[in-house]
Amino acid sequence: MNIQVWFRWLYAALWRIFSGGQPIMNLDQSEMKEYFLDFSVALTGFSKFNLLGTGQADLYYSTIEQNIGNELLQELLQTFHNLDLKAKSANDQSILDKGISFDILDSKKFGAIACNIIKLWYVATWYPIPQTGQDSNSQKPFIVSPQAYPEGLLWSAIGVNPPAAKAPGYGTWSEKPSVTLS
Amino acid sequence: MTSSQENDLIQSVDDLHFYLKQAMMIEHATIPPYMTALYSIKPGSNIEAFQIIRSVAVEEMLHLVLAANVYNAVGGDIRNTLSSDEFIPKYPTTLPTGETDFKVGLGKFSPETIDTFLSIERSKEVDEGQPIVGPRPSQNNLLAVRDANPQYSFYSIGLFYAEIIRGLYALYQEMGDDLFCGDPQRQITPEYYYDGAGDIIKVTDLTSAIRALTMIQEQGEGSVIGTIYDAERLLSHYYRFDQLKRGQYYIVDQDNPSNSDQPNQPTGDTFAVDWDAVYPIKENPKLSDYSGEPELHSAAQEFQSAYSDFLTKIEYAFDGHPETLLPAVGGMFKLKYQAERLIKNPIPGRDGMNAAPIYRLD
Amino acid sequence: MSQSQTTLKSVDCETVSKTFYDVVIVGAGVAGSIVAKQLSEQGKTVLILEAGTGKSLTLEGFQSHVETFYGAVDKNPNAPYPLNPNALSPTDGANGYFEEKGPLPLSGSYTRVLGGTTMHWEGKTIRMLPEDFELRTRYGHGLDWPISYKDIQPYYRKAEYEIGVSGNTEEQKGLGVTFMDGYVLPMLELPPSYLDQKVSEKIHGTTVEIEGETIKLDLSTFPQGRNSIPNPDYKKYNDGDDFIPQGVGSVEPVEYGERCQGNANCVPICPVQAKYDARKTLNRIAFPERVHILPQAVAYKVEVDPANGRVTAIHYKRYQDKNSPEHTLGIAKGTLFVLATNAVENAKLMLASELPSTSGLMGCHLMDHPFLLAWALMPEVTGTMRGPLVTSGISTFRKGAFRKKQSAFAVDIHNDGWGWSGTGATDVVRDAVDNKHKYGAELRQELISKISRQLLLAFMCELPADPSNRVTIDAQYKDQLGNYRPVIHFDVADYCKNTFAYARKLSQTIFQRLGAEDHTKYDKRDQDGNLDPAYFEYQGESYWFRGGNHFSGTHVMGTTKNNSVVDQNLRSWDHENLYLVGAGSMPSIGSSNTTLTLAALSFKSSEQMLRDLKS
């Protein structure tokens, strides 16, 4: 058993212990993707329509799955989903906000992955994560597909076109910026 | 030209204005279908097809501007033309381009769509002395024939322009230079518009008006009978689309056009067309197709209103503010990205069918 | 949108070996393309040997460059052009192509593909000032030219037509450039960015002192080889016709021809081809059957008849696969020979052929424009990262008596933010997410705050010719084809360092006026702890500079065979049928990007070649 697989097994075992012995829910693919999109909406600050409008959701999902493994991804998405449900049933958005900050972004297990998911959406790049067992020395960041690059949310977030794509038209650079600081 | 009086449809400046407005409608009518097909192509694939459709679409834009220039030159009032509700057709719609009835709709890039595009651009070899062809029953035609039986229509766009040119000559005979009473400041000139589509023509007199109309007429259809190129020695729209069906370029010899390829016998480089690298979009979508999906619904609505807004701004540019055309074109770039987002969004519960932009509210 | 018949065709080695050309050109960049066009139009037969792959001539090939760029994590100046170990392109030290011997690095980049470095150039096309041609006489630095501004003026006009320059001659006149009466550039200037406007509002009219002179801090636009709106007044200089902007970079079948669309990516590739590159010149060659192109052919030796010094052939290595060193040898013969590979490669090829020239100056006088950068955050959102990379700058320091003490410079306002200083937009994302754990709406605000307010000033400084700054070769440094890699000796003189020090202070004054937060810091080491080779200390302050890619001076022109390598028509003094074109022939480069001037010289040189071919 190589060390990566062993770590994953360990995660799964610990999860069972700490989640009160419940087995990992076996989510089906479409549920996982649904959770993934909801999670991405919360992380990125972009609507589901805008995320799907990039045409990259499936590719990003499979990139994450391939790089961290299905089990860990399921666990992360389940964690998010539970927070989401809690927040919704209590009708209290702050439960979700705090949960994302403390239980996910600050968590040793999920933090780097969640950050990677944000960066994937924002700059279409996957960065190696040391603690998932990926050998960070041999791994380099990569752009998941040339066509994903222009879909990075970074550019919409700051109201510009991705350099070399989606040109805004002659002279538009003289106009007032479309983004503001609140 | 010896057509009988009853066939002369343009008898007054008023008639001429009416026909030029119709011309702008025709030129615009093909833009949404071309744009929809174009944006359904998955990014990075079908680069040749993308460029070919795009090249035709930008020429249609040029034609719209040329028609507006002629209209302005003969003193037309452009207000409430492009901004009118009726300017955008209800797709699918029929176009008067041939004997066979066919409808032009909004659909993805596909062999069937290209067939429709070929039909749009098909040229008709018709005796030049017969600009108007006899009654042809048709319904829901875009081109109404003024003060005539509404069921009459033209065989081709080329013939429609032939009638405008005839009318222009006839009115010029009567009125002389008074016909061109429009303010030259209203013209869209090259500093406000240029592209790979050919030259914009400033229209101030009979010669320039005829040049502009002839350019529209000839760019659209293979005007040189039996050849693949138009009067500018460029491949005609019909044969541009024909290349997509064949996956091969035609070669036009610009120095000696008679050495160009023969119709249906291209000899240029071949290229691949991947009909599958296309988003499966809803054909001729309506706003009601998105009911129950608030994000899609509002995105489609936003697109439609941005599109109307774009046409309104173009109209404003034509209405004596040519300097506003450039920023308006910036709006067209935004429309593209809005359309692409719709096209990439699946309509939930529609089994893998994606959304598509709507241009006109039902 | 069809396939055009007027397409340059690539030929094979066999055709080349069987043909005796009027002129054999090495390098399909801007200089080689202009010579090929000018000579073929006069009925001459031309061969162009190109070291890179000829991919970019087709739409598919061009598009593949755009895709390669999209897919590159490191979006460096050569990111669109796949690494070619048989014809390496220096890329800011990344692939170790230059053997840098210091003390400071030349750094910078050029591109060995069809179209040359104009494929990735930014596109500024600024004329040199009349006094730049007399740097030695007037200011006691560097070298004088053997010709004056007046001599080159008509060729500037040809170059401006060929490249398709957008710009404002009235503004340029105010900065000291002279034009013939009434002359305008083919297209109007590109509109200044919103960022330019915000900078201008606050600093307009401010004056500063330099060596006792008072200079105004006014913004002006830069002339650029980029399509904007044709200038109706240009008709006079175009046989009464409107200027038609060229957009067709790829032959067949793109019919772009558009004006700049604001892709914000002039360097390293303009996806809509609104920016000039040498393919536009190649594609406009009226008699394509007279011009042969042999791609993947790396010239390695200039063969000379020892009896009379005349060049008899160019020897080249032809590879099939860029990743394999396997190659065949070939020879190209003709009446005239033109080296148009760029300043570094021209000198390298001559030295590799053991032709150091009578003056011994081959490879010496290597010049560039070192850039000092300064960066800050504007007090308000300026929407940075929009528009052509640079639209305006401060060009009021291009002239003045201060040039006796410190070098001239021009200031760019970078519309693309801090990328060049090492903090690109992507780095800001990584910092916000990884270090600050920002997400959702807060993340979006953080990015607007940290990117959309960015201002980068780039001070492009003149560096006069110095014989010890040079390109040499050494048998221990070769590439996989067995060709020499350039060995670079380079330093920045105090004359130029004085300008760095002045520029840094000037940037502080400007930032103060703007109410901008200064973030400039010249670190000795990068984030990974690697020493920055361009770091140095001067008068107690730390600095680093960045290479300007304006390599020049390596086969300098002059008045005799003893003080220079070529004459005023770029003809080698030692080899009467050999021309060394490009910026390598320039004795000084002032504060002007080199392409426009080298293009002008290529027109001048072509005229002499035609005279040679007549006799």
Q: What is the pLDDT of residues C255-270, one digit of tens each?
A: 455 789 999 999 999 9
Total-model pTM: 0.92
Residue C252 pLDDT exceeds 60: no
Does B297 contact A at CB distance below 8 Å?
Answer: no
Residue B135 pLDDT exceeds 80: no
Contacts of C264 (CB under 8 A, 6+ apart): A160, A161, A163, A164, A173, C385, C386, C387, C388, C389, C415, C416
Cβ neighbours of A64 (radius 10 Å) = 22
Q: What is the pLDDT confidence band of residue C5, given thresholds at 50, 70 and 90? A: very low
B177-195 pLDDT per residue, tens: 999 999 999 999 877 776 6
What's the confidence (pLDDT) of residue A16? 52
**Which secondary structure element, helix H or strand E, spans residue C410, and what is its range?**
strand C409-414
CB contact under 8 A, B249 and C3: yes
| Angle C586-C588-C594 from CA coordinates, rounded to 5° | 65
Query: What single letter denotes the amino acid at residue C426?
Result: T
Superfamily, domain B5-282: Ferritin, core subunit, four-helix bundle (1.20.1260.10)
What's the confidence (pLDDT) of residue C257? 55
Contacts of C550 (CB under 8 A, 6+ apart): C367, C368, C369, C583, C589, C593, C594
Most confident of B90-99, B207-216, C567-576: C567-576
The ranges assigned to domains in chain C are: 1-164+246-368+464-486+550-615, 191-225+371-462+493-544
Most confident of B223-227, B271-275, C153-157: C153-157
Residue B111 pLDDT exceeds 50: yes
State the architecture of C1-164+246-368+464-486+550-615 in CATH terms. 3-Layer(bba) Sandwich (3.50)
Cβ neighbours of C209 (radius 10 Å) = 9
The ranges assigned to domains in chain B are: 5-282
Measured in angstroms, the CA of C256 and the nearest CA of chain B are apart by: 5
Residue A23 pLDDT exceeds 70: no
- Quick one: closest CA in C to B189, which residue? C232
The whole-angstrom separation of Cα C161 and Cα C157 is 6
C22-40 pLDDT per residue, tens: 999 999 999 999 999 999 9
Q: Are C409 and C460 in contact (CB under 8 A)?
A: yes
Q: What is the pLDDT confidence band of residue C2, given thresholds at 50, 70 and 90? A: low
User: Using CB atoms within 10 A of its CB, is residue C396 exposed (0-12), middle (13-18) or buried (19+)?
Assistant: buried
Q: Which of B11-20, B110-119, B344-353, C50-59 has the lowest mean pLDDT?
A: C50-59
Cβ neighbours of C284 (radius 10 Å) = 14
C462-488 pLDDT per residue, tens: 999 999 999 999 999 999 999 999 999
User: Using CB atoms within 10 A of its CB, is residue B154 exposed (0-12), middle (13-18) or buried (19+)?
Assistant: buried
Q: Return the C-alpha torsion angle B95, B97, B102, B106, nearest 10.
A: -50
The whole-angstrom separation of Cα A124 and Cα A147 is 9
The whole-angstrom separation of Cα C611 and Cα C599 is 19
Residues in chain C: 615
Does A102 contact C at CB distance below 8 Å?
Answer: no
Does B262 contact C at CB distance below 8 Å?
Answer: no
CB contact under 8 A, C3 and B251: yes
What's the confidence (pLDDT) of residue B296? 97
C175-191 pLDDT per residue, tens: 999 999 999 999 999 99
Buried b (16+ CB within 10 A) or exposed e, B211-223: bbbbbbbbbbbbb
Chains A, B: CB contacts within 8 A come to 51
**Quick check: helix, strand or coil at residue A102?**
helix
User: What dotted CATH number matches C191-225+371-462+493-544?
Assistant: 3.30.410
Query: How far is it between the farthest Cα atoms of chain C?
Result: 77
What's the confidence (pLDDT) of residue B131? 42
Q: Are B26 and B86 in contact (CB under 8 A)?
A: no
The whole-angstrom separation of Cα C158 and Cα C596 is 10
The whole-angstrom separation of Cα A104 and Cα B310 is 44
Contacts of B47 in chain C (CB under 8 A): 59-60, 63
CB contact under 8 A, C2 and B194: no
CB contact under 8 A, A171 and B296: no
Chains B, C: CB contacts within 8 A come to 79
Contacts of A173 in chain C (CB under 8 A): 191, 193-194, 262, 264, 383, 386-388, 391, 415
ipTM over 0.90: yes
Q: Are C491 and C102 in contact (CB under 8 A)?
A: yes
More confident site: C457 or B51:
C457
The whole-angstrom separation of Cα C517 and Cα C455 is 10
The closest alpha carbon to A78, from A103, A48, A52, A46, belongs to A103
C269-306 pLDDT per residue, tens: 999 889 999 999 998 888 889 999 999 999 999 999 99
CB contact under 8 A, B47 and C188: no
Contacts of B348 in chain A (CB under 8 A): none
Measured in angstroms, the CA of B21 and the nearest CA of chain A are apart by: 28
Neighbours of chain B (3+ CB pairs under 8 A): A, C
Does A54 contact B at CB distance below 8 Å?
Answer: yes
DSSP C250: S
User: Using CB atoms within 10 A of its CB, is residue C433 exposed (0-12), middle (13-18) or buried (19+)?
Assistant: buried
Chosen for mutation from C65, C228, C384, C444 (greatest number of chain A CBs closer than 10 Å) is C444
Cβ neighbours of C181 (radius 10 Å) = 4
* Category of C419 on φ-ψ map: left (φ > 0), alpha (ψ -120 to 50) or beta: alpha
CA distances for C579 relative to A162, C29, C571, angstroms: 42, 15, 4
Q: Are B183 and B151 in contact (CB under 8 A)?
A: no
CB contact under 8 A, B235 and C2: yes
Does B190 contact C at CB distance below 8 Å?
Answer: yes
Chosen for mutation from A96, A140, A170 (greatest number of chain C CBs closer than 10 Å) is A170
Query: Taking the CA of residue B311 as centre, how many other CA atoms within 13 Å lie in the half-sphere pointing to its CB?
Result: 26
**Quick check: helix, strand or coil at residue C392?**
strand
CB contact under 8 A, B51 and C253: yes
- What tokens appear for C283 in the block? 């594609």
Whose structure tokens read 């950050």? A115
What's the confidence (pLDDT) of residue A24? 53
Write the secondary structure of C69-84 as one string of H (helix), E (strand) and C (coil). HHHCCCCCCCCCCCCC
CA distances for C377 relative to A177, C201, C429, angstroms: 15, 16, 16
Q: What is the mean pLDDT of chain A?
A: 87
C527-553 pLDDT per residue, tens: 889 999 999 999 999 999 999 999 999
- What tokens appear for B221 in the block? 């259809």
What mean pLDDT is predicted for residues A162-167?
A: 96
- Quick one: closest CA in C to A47, which residue? C440
CB contact under 8 A, A169 and B333: yes
CB contact under 8 A, B47 and C254: no
Whose structure tokens read 């890699």? C485
Residue C70 pLDDT exceeds 70: yes
**Going along A58-179, which residue ranges are E strands?**
125-126, 142-143
